[in-house]
Structure 1
Amino acid sequence: MVRVIDGDTIAVEPSSALPATSEDGAEHVVRVLGIDAPEMHYTDDTEPDCGAQEATDYLDELLVPGAAVTLVHDSEADEIDRYGRTLAYVELETAGDVGELLVANGYAAAWHPQGEPEPDRFSAYQESMAEARAAGAGSWEHCTP
């Protein structure tokens, strides 16, 4: 793992299976499948959405630079999104499914694009989101959906 970009996007080292997506060839961008975290709005003057910095910080705690991650593709979802990012579940040997952790701790919501097939893990993510929301975990404590 190279770096955390925001609460649902990371950069990993390019490889033959994951060619570089950055102009300098140093990284390949991966969007965590099945979730949506609040937006940081890096490309415009808009303030980050409520909970965006907390989601990014939480993911940064989970995925320290150099951490070994496993990318798992879904049986239903596309492998690449319209921005050229890989769409995959991100797993850590020590902590398991990163998307599930983000949702269960209230830093992301279960999500997939309308009109697209439901990802394999979506139902489990929805259950975790309902529990996190009911408990006021993470961003659910102070952000309005």
Structure 2
Amino acid sequence: MRLRSLALAILLATPADAGIQSPEPVHGPIRVIDGDTVRFASGEIVRIYNIDAPETRRSRCPAEKRLGETATAFLKALLKNGSVEISRCEPATGRCQDRYRRTLASLSTAQHGDVGEALIASGLALPWQAGKAAHDARAHHWCATK
């Protein structure tokens, strides 16, 4: 009974958005690494958490490489003008870093809104799903694209 009361107290004391930070402005230039990863002037590397763009460096076929280069150029254009805001950590899980120690975050601009959603809407990214089956499906999707 005491354990249940303790668990309830901890749950009620933990904010629903624990680990998630409010949007904050990004200062300095942003270097686009690929269609879903950027580097800030501070050196911080950010992986846009809600998308998966086609690969440019380890692409599995020529079509994926071309689409990856297009996604990279599109992301550069989205971030080029105006202010950019970052919201660190995944809202659904509260995770703040991926296995490569990149910051997981969403990026948004006043002009385009959530850049991950803009990439998905343009057909240059897919919604992120974890797991090998999802990874294989993404590879098939990019390589089946003409």
**Which TM class, normalised by the smaller chain length?**
0.5 to 0.7
Q: Residue in 1 aligned with 2:22?
A: none
Q: Cα deviation per residue 1:6-51 (whole Å; 9 max; x = unaligned)?
A: 000111132xxxxxxxxxxxx2110001110011117x9x866341
Deviation at 1:97, TM superposition (A): 0.3
Q: Secondary structure at the match of 1:113?
A: coil
Q: Residue in 2 aligned with 1:35?
A: 51
- In structure 2, list runs of 5 or more residues that go unmatched: 1-28, 133-140
Point out the structure with max Rg over C-alpha. 2
Q: In the aligned structure 1, how far is the partner of 2:105 from the partner of 2:41?
A: 15
TM-score, length-normalised on structure 2?
Answer: 0.62
Aligned match of 2:117 in 75, 100, 111? 100
Aligned match of 2:68 in 46, 52, 55? 52
- CA RMSD between the two structures: 2.8
Q: Cα deviation per residue 1:45-77 (whole Å; 9 max; x = unaligned)?
A: x8663411110111111112x753211133223
Q: Secondary structure at the match of 2:144?
A: coil
Q: Secondary structure at the match of 1:102?
A: helix
Moved over 2 A (4+): 46-50, 73-77
Q: Report the structure, 1 or 2, having the larger helix content.
A: 2
Q: Secondary structure at the match of 1:51?
A: helix
Q: Residue in 2 aligned with 1:144?
A: 144
Count of aligned residue pairs for this structure pair: 105
Deviation at 1:112, TM superposition (A): 2.8
Q: Secondary structure at the match of 1:63?
A: helix
TM-score, length-normalised on structure 1?
Answer: 0.62
Alignment of 1:18-33 (within 5 A): 27-33=43-49
Asked whether the equivalents of residues 51 and 143 of structure 1 are also in contact (C-alpha less than 8 Å), the reply is no
Q: Residue in 1 aligned with 2:15?
A: none
Q: In the aligned structure 2, how far is the partner of 1:80 from the partner of 1:68?
A: 24
Q: Which amino acid aligns with 2:85?
A: T
Q: Cα deviation per residue 1:96-118 (whole Å; 9 max; x = unaligned)?
A: 00000000001000113239xxx
- In structure 1, list runs of 5 or more residues that go unmatched: 15-26, 116-139
Asked whether the equivalents of residues 69 and 93 of structure 1 are also in contact (C-alpha less than 8 Å), the reply is yes
Q: In the aligned structure 1, how far is the partner of 2:129 from the partner of 2:83?
A: 26
Q: Residue in 2 aligned with 1:69?
A: 84
Asked whether the equivalents of residues 70 and 92 of structure 1 are also in contact (C-alpha less than 8 Å), the reply is yes
Q: Residue in 2 aligned with 1:3?
A: 31
